[in-house]
Amino acid sequence: MFIYQQLYKTEYQKQNLIIPQILVLNVLTVYFTFNLVSTWQDKMLYINESNVKDILTWEKTFEAVEVAMKRLSSGQTVQMPRTHTIIPGSDNVLLTMPGYLKDEKFGALGCKLVTYFPGNPKRTEALPSINANIMILDEATGIMKAVVAGTEITTQRTSAASAVATKYLYVNQGKACNILAILGTGIQGRIHAEMFRHFFHFQEIRLWNRTKEKAKSLAEELNRKFDTNVFKYYENNESCVRGADVIVTTTASPVHIVHYAWVKPGAHINAVGASRNHFSELDEQLYRNSDLYLDSVETMKPEMAGLDMLTDSLRGEVGAVINKMIPSSPNERPTIFNGGGMAVEDCAVGRAVYDLYHERKI
């Protein structure tokens, strides 16, 4: 660039054309230099959270998660155990979640980087406790095609996993969807309340939270939003759970918040919350007296303390029920879906977002 400037400076100075010519040459030089040295690496796409929120529908997320569960249980995925990098002296953790899913529509090679910083919502400027990005890599070359913002995807796909489980383990058994109880009204509590209303049309949706005011204000907000009165706020977790057809736990509680004695026979439970003391929201008696289904047995083995003692309860994976490899539970024992969250779900939804982004030419 410097040489061009020197050459043209002397040649054009006399004709008073120096400034426009140098500008044009500089622009051309930058353009050609960039295109010679720039490669695929410099052109990687970032699909941000606003884009994801604009293009991703609950129906698409549900479909992608259903496919991911099916493919996992029929051996068409590779999902490595996730790593937990815990920041010393805190509850803050960075997880890496690599996975590969073979599927024409939702297949992808990817890896989610997700942080869980439980103090974030209490910051002066509140932030979500979970923040994520999903890398989507080219299956043939291993080159990164895009990074897709993964916070909204994590929110939606976690609730969609509960919805898929509820469909196959409960609704398809012809059981009633009258009362839904949701314990925990953070990000997951909210999305479960809205998504389950959307897909299953519950007549009453009960909300309980450790900080009672939050459950109250969410119930009021959602009743206003949907011009309804199906959302009810409960002060007490026991009365919230008693009589419910479907129960969802979405807290970081290290102690049990649902006890077997409170659960209606034949009810279905989605246990979503994962604290440092993983999957502790339900009491042991409930686990022992229920039919337990997981999203991935392999992935949950290292993470779910006490799983090896639940062999009598463990029926298998939801994907195996969808694939009709195992039957669902028609009996009066409660069913539990313990969804730990799967990398292949993130790959499937990430791929869907990547395709939608290009279809819409954003």
Ligand X SMILES: O=C(O)C1=NCCCC1
Name the site residues for ligand NAI (rule: CB under 6 A).
Answer: 116, 118, 121, 129-130, 154, 158, 184-189, 209-211, 250-253, 272-275, 339-341
Instruction: Give 125's contacts (C-beta < 8 A, 6+ positions apart).
Output: none
114 binds, among ligand X, ligand NAI, none (CB under 5 to 8 A by kind): ligand X
Rule CB under 6 A: is residue 341 a binding residue for ligand X?
Answer: yes
Q: Binding pattern to ligand X, positions 78-117, x when CB under 6 A?
A: -----------------x------------------x-x-
Neighbours of 270 (CB within 10 A): 27
From residue 195, how far is each of 67, 110, 180 by CA, in Å?
18, 26, 12
> Contacts with ligand X in 113-172 (CB under 6 A)?
114, 116, 130, 154
Structural tokens at position 171:
């609704």
Query: Closest CB to ligand X belongs to which residue?
Result: 341
Q: Which is nearer to ligand NAI, 111 or 357 (CB)?
A: 111
187 binds, among ligand NAI, ligand X, none (CB under 5 to 8 A by kind): ligand NAI
Instruction: Kindly state the smallest distance separating residue 59's Cβ from ligand X, in Å.
Output: 21
Instruction: Kindly state the smallest distance separating residue 81's Cβ from ligand X, in Å.
Output: 12
Instruction: Kindly state the smallest distance separating residue 294's Cβ from ligand NAI, in Å.
Output: 11
Q: Which of 228, 101, 132, 243 is nearest to 181 (CA)?
A: 243
188 binds, among ligand X, ligand NAI, none (CB under 5 to 8 A by kind): ligand NAI
Q: What are phi and psi of 86, to 5 degrees?
A: -95, 130
d(CA 228, CA 204): 10
Structural tokens at position 187:
């990000």
User: Taking phi first (over 0 means left), then psi (-120 to 50 degrees means alpha), and beta for anything else, what does residue 174 get?
Assistant: left
Q: Which of 201, 206, 114, 107 is nearest to 163 (CA)?
A: 201
Question: Where do contacts with ligand X occur on this chain (CB under 6 A)?
Answer: 95, 114, 116, 130, 154, 274, 341
